[in-house]
């Protein structure tokens, strides 16, 4: 299962100590340390308000952007990366006679999306074939064939897009040796089932606007009774939504682990012509599938047999137009730009949408060029060295845990040995050599890229499982936990200042990126990761005794956070945020020891008047800096599983080393007696 994290968040762990940087400061250190010092408020006492002490200067100097409820370091890094990618794509989109093939492919794709004159002139010519096929649907077999065909639409990674099901090729839940097709519910034009079933006024209004949009598209297609057809399409989608699993059920992987054979589809979900569907989807001959939401498969199959073909045709035509709207003439394109429902369009200018769409279609190709400019091999090597020390530190902590039984420790160490941590970018880039891109063919390019990506996915069915398979765009600011197989990834866009500077201060790197990486690694060993074994198989590997002792050890941390009340009549909900807080604390502890391992017994030097430990803890506190309105803060406390930044920063009060580094004494507001300091990992 993939789990994306916005900064919550290979081979066997090597039993060695690697130093990222020790001794004298590198020439570039001064820049990062100067920013660290400028961001501080030395008038505050660290033992009373460590967050203010670490971040007061930045908080005072940084304005909250208009119309934003929150703004922090992650936002700043995303803005930087967005500008970098925009500048790169704008440069590549300019016509040049000779360029490297990959640069030419990306540049021509982006240019084709901004060439609205050509797009408008071509009309629906490139979709004429598909629209004619839809018109020709005359029985359940031809309907299933087209439903299987549109499964190929999208990003090739299982996103349902406009297809009735999303197909994602990935390791099975219960076996680690081979890839299986994972089928997930899809087919909705709005975001989720609640958009169709919730009777709240806002949802009723959203559905009314959506029905108007469907009617407008069908009118452009010269449907004789567009308004009535739009109502029928919405009714069909509502029936599909009614069969969908809730998000809570989808998040329960034990409910998702349903392996069906081809015979099971006919027996359990009669109504769809499954052989026709799978042939068109490129999955003929596949013997087993993981069906995440069986009720949705059964529901859609029933509708395939019972709903009038005329309604399915209107549905399919609308979704074809919706999917390709950015590459279609203004008469269609503008319908989606002016629809203000978040699920449909962002209303961005054409150039901005072109950049966004190019990234969605060719994210890895853009990442390849981004890495060449902004993330040199030395950066990856430095990050890898840090991760090896983190693994070594965690190995020692696991060995010394009091809440794990010896048998469970053995399983945990085996899982750590098998853990694959991908840093920056994939070890093997996708070869886009066979992909044909035409500079003046926006729709054709989109369709060829989708087909290329889908073929890449289907080809995995003939290959062994690759634990190092890359799943996020290198230029994004993101991290990913892939519980099956046992892997994590951290993008090049994330591993940059202020979180990580391969030429900068080692203590700061460990306190910021190191603590973040350790946090994500620990998710593979906590209550989330407890249900996945060393190779990612779905299995509980803690004993009942482990669980009981773990819960007893974390209870004081929940109580600690319950006491934080940042706004009137509202306190942090310690149990709600406990999972993330556990790994904040564990990540900080593991990263701190990893930092000292990197020194190889040599004390770190004082830099900018700060000891190594001080720089480590300051970097940790500065990673959580955020400007936030009270309304946004209240919403976070009520809904988020992450604590507000000041309290994530205050995690330091559980580490003895922090008290020594900043001379925190009894009477200081953050002081905890040694016996009250929580130590989980």
CB atoms within 10 A of CB 528: 16
Considering the domain architecture, whether residues 312 and 387 belong to the same structural domain is answered as no
Q: Report yes or no on 280 lying in a domain.
A: yes
What pLDDT score does 634 carry?
96
Shortest CA distance to 451 belongs to which of 469, 432, 427, 473?
432
Considering the domain architecture, whether residues 670 and 588 belong to the same structural domain is answered as yes
What pLDDT score does 361 carry?
87
Which domain does 644 fall in, by range? 2-83+364-427+468-676
Q: Mean pLDDT lowest for which of 3-7, 374-378, 545-549? A: 3-7
Considering the domain architecture, whether residues 292 and 419 belong to the same structural domain is answered as no
pLDDT at 371 over 70: yes
User: Residue 449 belongs to what H/E stretch?
Assistant: helix 442-459
Q: Report yes or no on 459 lying in a domain.
A: no
Give the residue from 306, 327, 348 where a domain finishes.
327
| pLDDT tier at 157, thresholds 50, 70, 90 | very low
pLDDT digits (tens, 9 = 90+) for 189-239: 998 999 999 999 999 999 999 999 999 999 999 999 999 999 999 999 999
User: Residue 222: which region, alpha, beta or left (left: phi > 0; alpha: psi -120 to 50)?
Assistant: left
CATH number at residue 222: 1.10.1380.10
Give the residue from 309, 327, 345 where a domain finishes.
327
Give the count of domains, the chain: 2
In contact, 241 and 342? CB cutoff 8 Å: no
CATH number at residue 21: 3.40.390.10
Considering the domain architecture, whether residues 203 and 251 belong to the same structural domain is answered as yes
What pLDDT score does 154 carry?
67
Q: Report yes or no on 386 lying in a domain.
A: yes
Q: Report yes or no on 188 lying in a domain.
A: yes
Considering the domain architecture, whether residues 574 and 476 belong to the same structural domain is answered as yes
pLDDT at 242 over 50: yes
* Residue 510 per-residue DSSP state: I
Considering the domain architecture, whether residues 509 and 657 belong to the same structural domain is answered as yes
Considering the domain architecture, whether residues 286 and 418 belong to the same structural domain is answered as no
Tokens of 47: 């033992």
Exposed, middle or buried by CB within 10 Å (0-12, 13-18, 19+), for 595? buried
- Please spell the DSSP secondary structure of 475-487, one letter per residue: TSS-EEEETTTTE
pLDDT digits (tens, 9 = 90+) for 439-488: 999 999 999 999 999 999 999 999 999 999 999 999 999 999 999 999 99
pLDDT at 22 over 50: no
pTM: 0.89
Cα gap 115→118, rounded to integer Å = 6
Considering the domain architecture, whether residues 516 and 567 belong to the same structural domain is answered as yes
Cα gap 151→281, rounded to integer Å = 6
Considering the domain architecture, whether residues 416 and 527 belong to the same structural domain is answered as yes
Cα gap 113→462, rounded to integer Å = 34
**C-alpha dihedral (378, 382, 385, 389), degrees to nearest 10:** 180
Considering the domain architecture, whether residues 563 and 671 belong to the same structural domain is answered as yes
Considering the domain architecture, whether residues 219 and 306 belong to the same structural domain is answered as yes
């Amino acid at each position: 299962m993939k789990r994306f994290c916005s900064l919550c968040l290979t081979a066997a762990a090597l039993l060695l100590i690697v130093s990222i940087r020790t001794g004298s400061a590198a020439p570039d250190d001064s820049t990062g340390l100067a920013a660290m010092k400028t961001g501080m408020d030395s008038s505050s006492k660290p033992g009373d308000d460590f967050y203010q002490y670490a971040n007061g200067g930045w908080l005072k100097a940084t304005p909250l952007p208009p119309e934003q409820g929150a703004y922090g370091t992650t936002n700043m890094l995303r803005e930087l990366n967005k500008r970098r990618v925009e500048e790169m794509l704008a440069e590549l989109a300019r016509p040049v006679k000779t360029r490297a093939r990959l640069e030419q492919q990306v540049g021509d794709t982006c240019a084709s999306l901004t060439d609205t004159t050509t797009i408008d002139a071509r009309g629906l010519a490139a979709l004429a074939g598909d629209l004619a096929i839809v018109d020709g649907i005359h029985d359940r077999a031809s309907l299933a064939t087209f439903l299987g065909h549109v499964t190929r639409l999208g990003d090739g990674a299982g996103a349902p897009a406009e297809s009735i099901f999303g197909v994602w090729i990935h390791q099975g839940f219960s076996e680690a040796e081979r890839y299986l097709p994972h089928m997930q519910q899809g087919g909705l034009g709005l975001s989720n089932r609640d958009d169709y079933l919730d009777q709240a006024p806002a949802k009723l209004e959203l559905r009314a606007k959506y029905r108007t949009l469907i009617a407008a598209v069908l009118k452009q297609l010269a449907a004789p009774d567009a308004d009535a057809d739009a109502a029928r399409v919405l009714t069909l989608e509502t029936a599909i939504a009614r069969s969908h699993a809730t998000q809570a059920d989808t998040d329960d992987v034990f409910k998702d682990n349903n392996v069906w054979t081809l015979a099971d589809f006919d027996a359990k979900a009669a109504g769809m012509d499954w052989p026709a569907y799978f042939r068109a989807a490129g999955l003929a001959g596949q013997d087993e599938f993981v069906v995440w939401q069986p009720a949705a498969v059964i529901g859609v199959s029933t509708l395939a047999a019972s709903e009038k073909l005329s309604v399915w045709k209107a549905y399919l035509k609308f979704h074809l137009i919706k999917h390709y709207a950015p590459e279609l003439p203004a008469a269609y394109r503008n319908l989606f730009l002016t629809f203000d429902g978040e699920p449909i369009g962002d209303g961005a200018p054409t150039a901005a949408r072109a950049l966004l769409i190019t990234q969605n279609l060719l994210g890895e190709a853009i990442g390849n060029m981004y890495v060449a400019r902004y993330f040199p091999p030395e950066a990856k090597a430095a990050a890898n060295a840090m991760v090896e020390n983190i693994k070594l530190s965690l190995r020692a902590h696991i060995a010394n845990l009091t809440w794990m039984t010896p048998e469970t420790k053995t399983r945990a160490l085996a899982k750590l040995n098998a853990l694959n941590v991908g840093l920056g970018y994939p070890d093997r880039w996708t070869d886009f050599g066979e992909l044909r891109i035409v500079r003046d063919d926006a729709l054709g390019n989109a369709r060829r890229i989708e087909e290329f990506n889908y073929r890449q996915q289907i080809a995995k069915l003939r290959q062994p499982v690759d634990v190092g398979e890359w799943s996020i765009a290198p230029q994004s600011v993101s991290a990913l936990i892939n519980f099956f197989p046992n892997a994590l990834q951290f993008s090049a866009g994330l591993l940059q200042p202020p979180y990580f500077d391969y030429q900068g201060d080692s203590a700061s790197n460990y306190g910021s990126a190191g603590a973040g990486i350790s946090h994500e690694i620990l998710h593979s060993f906590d209550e989330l990761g407890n249900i996945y074994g060393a190779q990612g198989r779905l299995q509980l590997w803690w004993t009942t005794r482990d669980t009981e002792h773990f819960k007893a050890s974390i209870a004081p941390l929940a109580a600690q956070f319950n006491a934080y009340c940042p706004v009137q009549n509202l306190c942090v909900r310690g149990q709600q945020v406990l999972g993330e807080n556990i790994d904040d604390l564990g990540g900080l502890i593991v990263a701190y020891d990893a930092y000292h391992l990197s020194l190889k017994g040599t004390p770190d030097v004082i830099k900018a008047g700060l000891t190594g430990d001080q720089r480590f803890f300051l970097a940790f506190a500065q990673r959580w800096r955020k400007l936030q309105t009270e309304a946004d803060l209240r919403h976070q406390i009520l809904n988020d599983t992450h604590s507000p930044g000041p309290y994530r920063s205050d995690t330091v009060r559980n580490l003895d080393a922090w008290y020594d580094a900043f001379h925190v004494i009894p009477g200081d507001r953050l002081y905890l007696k040694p016996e009250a300091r929580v130590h989980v990992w």
